[in-house]
Amino acid sequence: MTPNEMHQLINRGIDGDLTGAEQRKLDQLLRRSAPARKMHADLSALAHSLDTMTVADPPVHLAQRVHARVAAPSPSAVKRPSILAALRTQLGLGQMVRYGSVFAGGLVLGAFLFMILVNPQGGTQIADESAAGSLLSKADTYTISLTGASGTVVSLPTPTGREVTLQLTCTSPTNVRFAFDPSRVKLENLRQVPQTTPPANVANGLIEMTVTGSERTNLSFGGVQDSRLSLEVSSTMGGSYRTEIPVH
């Protein structure tokens, strides 16, 4: 039996994961091997210590804080009955419906014009939030959550290279595609740590790579020509969106 096999057998024995035959094999090993007995005793004691560690009480305010956040009405849910009642009194129901229709039509037209003329690329907003998950911003830190994957995108201020590091952690093997504008981003200093298999495929403004589950992958590149890096992330696990990351 190799040391590795012995280690596995002892550990599985501690977890109660052995078949009858394997348990007999372990018993036999423990009878004839002092190092095996030592390892078994050490690991059993460690497992027992870990199993019986004190369970702490959660702070009393935890549930209250969650409740306060969950129960708080959203602004859209706030009712203003007094204004509606006043309008109803002044205008009557028929006129309210007529004016309301005109107002709603104006809003739709305005929103349409805004999308066409003012914000054609989606700006810093997530274009397809429902499919993508969410983007959480805390100062310079951006957290991207994709379906089946989660990760952190950080824009790092560097004095010369304006280098950007994307850090993505996936909970399962995930194919990820970063799309960017090649006229604004030059991959002068592409570093992929660790190298994935297959390595990242970089062409025509696309970086395609497979991120192995539970491994963190850093992707650093420089030469960003604009104050904002436009980034589109999609995952074969589902969902895609585009956003813009300010590069300081």
Interface with other proteins (CB under 8 A) = 7-8, 11-12, 15, 17, 34, 37-38, 41-47, 49-51, 53-59, 61-63, 65-67, 69-71, 134, 141, 143, 148, 150, 152, 154, 167, 169, 171-172, 213-214
Cβ–Cβ < 8 Å for 146, 238: yes
Q: Which is nearer to other proteins, 58 or 159 (CB)?
A: 58
State in angstroms the smallest separation of the CB of 58 from other proteins: 4
Cβ–Cβ < 8 Å for 180, 186: no
State in angstroms the smallest separation of the CB of 38 from other proteins: 5
Instruction: Report the 10 Å Cβ neighbour count for 17.
Output: 12
Instruction: Report the 10 Å Cβ neighbour count for 218.
Output: 13
Cα separation, 92 vs 96, in Å, equals 6
Cβ–Cβ < 8 Å for 205, 181: yes
Q: Which is nearer to other proteins, 97 or 136 (CB)?
A: 136
Cβ–Cβ < 8 Å for 247, 162: yes
SS3 117: helix
State in angstroms the smallest separation of the CB of 45 from other proteins: 3
Q: Which is nearer to other proteins, 154 or 206 (CB)?
A: 154
Q: Which is nearer to other proteins, 96 or 154 (CB)?
A: 154
Enter the DSSP assignment of 49: H
| Owner of token pair 């969950």 | 70
In sequence order, the 6+-apart residues with CB closer than 8 A to the CB of 148 are 170, 171, 172, 174, 235, 237, 238
Phi, psi (degrees; rounded to nearest 5) at 158: -130, 140
State in angstroms the smallest separation of the CB of 112 from other proteins: 29
Q: Which is nearer to other proteins, 1 or 66 (CB)?
A: 66
State in angstroms the smallest separation of the CB of 29 from other proteins: 14
Cβ–Cβ < 8 Å for 241, 131: yes
Q: Which is nearer to other proteins, 143 or 220 (CB)?
A: 143
State in angstroms the smallest separation of the CB of 127 from other proteins: 19
